[in-house]
Structure 1
Amino acid sequence: MSGNILTTAACGLLLTSLYFATRWFDRRNRSSLPPPPGPKGWPLIGNMFDLPTKDEYRVYSQWHETYGDICSVTVLGQRIVIINSPDVAFKLLNKQIYAGRPHYNMCCDLVGWSHALVMLPYGERFKGYRAMLKNAFGSRASVEKYKETMETETHHCLARLLNQEGSTNFTGPIRRSIGAILLGITHGYEVQSEHDSLVRIADQATDQLGVLLTPGSFMVDTISALRFIPTWFPGPFADFKRLARDWRSDLYGLTEQSYAFVKKQVSAGTASPSFVQELIEGKDLTEQEELDIKWVASSIYLGGADMPVSALSSLMLAMVMFPEMQKKAQAEIDAVVGHDRLPLFSDRDDLPYVESMLREIIRFGPPVPLGAPHCVTEDDVYEGMLIPKDSIVVANLWHFLQDPNVYPNPEVFDPERFIAREGKPAQPDPYDFCFGFGRRICPGVHLTDAQMYIFTASILSVFNIEKVVENGVVQEPKHEFTSGVLIRPKPFKAVLKPRSAKAEALIRMFGDTA
């Protein structure tokens, strides 16, 4: 056993030395142009100790004051470029050479995310995924065929929220309903409970992706040789391998179980209409075609569940902090919808304040503050600065959306900032960049937007979202968010109360509180 350990360690040391030597010679042969500015690093390790471990988006926003619209750091030879200007992001990230994704050893190889759309390398397989998704979700009109599913599940969510009146756990019912919509659309699968096994696995995998994409989380992403450490290696050195094994089980469990469910239903002739059912029923598929279908379907949930849940949590926070905005939205809904029914998609064009509220929700609390990382596939030059091939490039959406020079009083939730008036143009639409750039723009933008609309309008039509009073003390929430690639408001207390006896009766008509 000791001989195996020594051999593994020696191989790791040799490969690490070759890695650094290759990096050094490669840099010497690159252009003499300077990279984007940034904190001064140390020899070999670069800016390892400058990378923030929490509130990354806030730290990068502060760097804007020192280094300008674009800055960079290096960690063990890997350059990371941070863009703090939407104009720069559009100029760079809309180029095809920025359509790549970084190849994180932990995320892509050890856990297996290289098959999912979010981390799939740009190429023919990527284009095939996009074509399938464009056909199903590529426009607001194409999402219309799912409106009944979304409206029905939203009504069920209202009933569950009512059933737990007085509780501050509003996220659970919303997450269940978003999961039910996505699994119903993709696989015709009916979610059984808030703790449904597929929803649980999917949510775990999504949370894990946030960790996997955080720069500096795993040393194996920088030193590839570490991947050869065997899982049985004693002590903490192989902890990441054991973690990868468990997380791979979650990711593949979701993908395989959900696809097997549809195949079984199709074979039995009992399959509900769904994205997967339409692609496989009556088809003689190759092994590769089946692989692509199962992963693109899984990607819809993995890429689409967290953003609406986070956004709706931000809605709750905003409504508690700014009750006057809640009243304005409710007045508009009452005028258009009335008190005898719930909002429908057909009401949307007549609800401009609610429409603007969707933009403000994303601006107030960007669910993915740094977007998904891009990778430049060849050297690029921007305003005399070299962005080397294989650089990781991130757009700091948080800074774009919280910049007081663009959005005055950014800490204030104000949907009217997106409503143009005479002498006062609307402020920039967050939808122009919050769903990504170029060839990597989110293919599910219309589906996410539709879910945000129907949940926002429906919840506000029948509930008042209020502050919690404990022992006579009002619990005041703050505009604070978690750290990481995927964020949501830090825990806060809020309570949902029916707006009236008629509103409560309307909710109960839809009944499903299971």
Structure 2
Amino acid sequence: MYGFVIALFSLFLLERLFQSRKNALPLPPGPRGFPLVGNLLDMPKPTDFQAHHWAKHKDLYGPISSVSVFSKTMIVLNDPAVVNDLFEKRSIEFSSRPKQIFAADYMGWKHGTGLIKYNDSLRFQRKAMARILGTKSAAAQYNNLQEAEVGHFLLNMLESPQDLRQHLAKEAGTIILKLSYGYTTERSGKDPLLSIMNKAMEDLALAIVPGRYMVDNFPMMRYIPEWLPGGGWKKDGRRYAADVKYTVETPYKFVQKQMEQEKHEQSYLSQALETTEDTPMNVRNNKWTAASIFGAGSDTTVAVNSAFYLAMALFPEVQKRAQAEIDAVVGSNRLPVASDRKSLPYVDALVKEIMRWHPIVPMGLPHTNEKDAEYKGYRIPKHAILMPNVWLFTHDPTVYPDPFQVRPERFLKDQTLTAKNPPDPLSFAFGFGRRVCPGKLLADNTVYLTFAQSLAVYNIAKPVVDGKTIDPKAEFKPSVISHPADYEVFVKPRSAHHEKMIRALEEKFPWQESSAKEFLEAAAY
């Protein structure tokens, strides 16, 4: 065993020794490293909020900095102008993804839209998503679906307001599964498809945390047999891979069977199958784009809506102003819908402000380059990991004064709070360049409807325990997709009339029979 470890370490030394030094340009500035391990000791701990850690680099090293850990170089982008230069203006060079060896090769996510490198498969997948979901007219066909499921969320909140987090997850998951597969979830209790999808996404989120699986840092560990010490992670990979395969293959079978029986509802996958040839590559890409829509749109939507409910309890004056606008424009006899948005500038600004106050992917999703590159006299080596500090962009006090306060007015016309035309946080929230989320219009509409309709009928307040008002803490979890830390708020209908409006939604949007039975039959087929 010791001989094997020594051989493995020797290979690592050789890799470092013969690493290309053809380009004499320096890396972007950064902390001094140690032999072999580089800046390992400068890396944030798993419990650290990474964006806060990397934000310190801007004062120390400027808008672009670097660290090296073992054989990997990470480039920290702490200025939106640098991100624009690299990810937008030079998107052809910087639109690939860093290789996630464990997640891609051992869990089975190598064809997932979010992890795939910039190649023909990615272009096919993004083109299909843009065609079916990405235009305003394409997104508008799902307005009724979104309004129905936001209505069901309001009904669920009426029954058990203490279960806010679960209801938000059910709302987001139900919308995505209906949109992707035409699948209707169980009204209550555990739904078979939603449960396995959520589990697969939770497993993936854990797997891609830096340092979780050392094979990502030491690719040579792929050659360690599973039965040797240091190879046990392969067992995790096999277990995860079975779940991922089920997640991707079984909903595809469900839609195929529904289409064969002419019982399907229109969905992303049904449209993809109707408009592409039945070739092996198209089949693979259609499976993975449908599954990737859930991964991209479910947990992120929950995180935004959860931040909204927290913010409304912490900033009641914002809530009151938004409710007053809704009452004045929409009235109190119906709920605001998508077509009302242009007449609700403060609510629209609130969507932007919550996205700014808590960007749900604080360090963005990393990009990489497939060839050596140069930027302003600095060397960006091939396969560097480029990390945009989105949180820092949206909390720059010179751009957004009082950045820790929720102040939607900063995005209104003729406002005096900040510089004229501050950057729209939505330009940061959905990714950059050729990696921007193709379903951003749909996600944005779900968020808007949840905000607007919640404010129309509910008051959201700090909880009162034993006569004392409890202030929820504005704390956020240190993960790739960052949710607020657990909190409690008090949610109650604004009046008896508003409660009646909520209950009327059950008649307007009756609960549909679940697709669970047909799905399980397809799974067994």
**TM-score, structure 2 as length reference:** 0.92
The amino acid that maps onto 1:476 is: D
2:380 to 387, 392, 404: 387
Would the aligned equivalents of 1:163 and 1:513 in 2 still touch at CA under 8 Å?
no
Structure 2 residue aligned with 1:254, among 247, 250, 273? 247
The answer as to 2:69 corresponding to 1:87 is no
Unaligned runs of 5+ in 2: 513-525
- CA drift at 1:245: 2.3
Corresponding residue to 1:367 among 348, 351, 360 = 360
Cα distance 1:340–1:485, how it changes in 2: closer, same or farther (>3 A)?
same
Counterpart of 1:185 (choices 179, 183, 190) is 179
- Number of residues paired by the alignment? 502
Query: Which residue of structure 2 lines up, in the alignment, with residue 176 of structure 1?
Result: 170
Query: CA separation in 2, counterparts of 1:154 and 1:374?
Result: 34
Range with greater deviation from structure 2 (298-307 or 275-284)? 275-284
Measure the CA separation in 2 of the matches of 1:183 and 1:341.
27
1:20-169 counterparts in 2 under 5 A? 20-27=13-20, 29-53=21-45, 54-94=48-88, 95=90, 96-165=92-161, 167=162, 169=163
Counterparts in 2 of 1:316-465, with a 5 A limit?
316-421=309-414, 425-465=420-460
CA distance in 2, matches of 1:370, 1:284: 38
- Specify the alignment match of 2:491 in structure 1: 496
> Is 2:100–2:115's contact at 8 Å kept on the other side of the alignment?
no
The reply to whether residue 222 of structure 1 matches residue 214 of structure 2 is no
How large is the Cα RMSD of the aligned pairs?
Answer: 1.8
What letter corresponds to residue 43 of structure 1 in structure 2? P
CA drift of 1:177 comes to 1.3
Contact kept, 8 Å, 1:369 with 1:397, in 2: the verdict is yes
Moved more, 198-207 or 282-291: 282-291
Give the equivalent residue in structure 2 for 1:510: 505
Q: 1:422 to 1:153 in 2, by over 3 A?
A: closer
Q: What is the CA deviation profile of residues 435-467 of structure 1, one whole-angstrom value per residue up to 9, with x for unaligned ones? A: 111111111111110111111111111000111
Q: Distance in 1 between matches of 2:119 and 2:84?
A: 21
Q: Which amino acid aligns with 2:126?
A: R
1:284: how far off?
Answer: 5.7
Counterpart amino acid of residue 100 in structure 2: Y
Give 3-state SS (helix, strand or coil) of 1:82's partner.
Answer: strand
Specify the code of the residue in structure 2 equivalent to 1:155. G
**Contact 2:356–2:395 at 8 Å: present in 1 too?**
yes
Whole-Å Cα distance in 1 between the matches of residues 219 and 465 of structure 2? 52
Structure 1 position 12, deviation (Å): 6.1
Normalised by the length of structure 1, the TM-score is 0.94
2:523 corresponds to = none
Paired AA for residue 157 in structure 1: F
Provide the rounded CA distance (Å) in 2 between the counterparts of 1:457 and 1:126.
35
Report if aligned partners of 1:160, 1:513 keep a CA contact under 8 Å in 2. no
Distance 1:282 1:469 in 2: 55
Q: Is 2:271 the partner of 1:278?
A: yes
Q: Deviations over 1:374-396 (max 9, x none)?
A: 11111122221111111011101
Contact 1:140 1:446 in 2 (8 A): yes
Cα 1:304–1:12 shift into 2, 3 Å: farther
User: 8 Å contact 1:310–1:489 — kept in the other structure?
Assistant: yes
Cα distance between partner residues in 1 of 2:138 and 2:126: 15
Q: Which moved more, 1:399-408 or 1:414-423?
A: 414-423
Is residue 468 of structure 2 the alignment partner of residue 476 of structure 1?
no
AA aligned opposite 1:478? K
Among 218, 231, 242, the alignment partner of 2:226 is: 231
Task: Indicate whether 1:296 and 2:292 are aligned.
Answer: no
Displacement of 1:429? 0.8
Do the aligned residues in 2 keep the contact of 1:12 with 1:225 (CA within 8 Å)? Answer: no
Q: Distance in 2 between matches of 1:410 and 1:371?
A: 19
Give 3-state SS (helix, strand or coil) of 1:80's partner.
strand
| Cα distance change of structure 1 residues 92 and 425 upon mapping to structure 2, 3 Å threshold | same
SS in 2 for 1:496: strand
Aligned equivalents of 1:231, 1:351: Cα separation in 2? 59
Distance apart, 1:63 and its partner CA: 1.8
Q: Partners of 2:285 and 2:336 in 1: how far apart?
A: 37
Contact 1:105 1:220 in 2 (8 A): yes
Q: Does structure 1 retain, via aligned residues, the 8 Å contact 2:83–2:388?
A: yes
Q: C-alpha distance in 2, partners of 1:35/1:178?
A: 42
Decide which of 166, 181, 201 is 2:196's aligned counterpart: 201
Deviation of the 1:486 alpha carbon: 1.1
Q: Secondary structure at the match of 1:411?
A: coil
Q: 2:409–2:415: 8 Å Cα contact kept in structure 1?
A: no
Using the alignment, how far apart are the partners of 1:252 and 1:404 within structure 2? 46
In structure 2, what is the equivalent of residue 3 of structure 1?
Answer: none
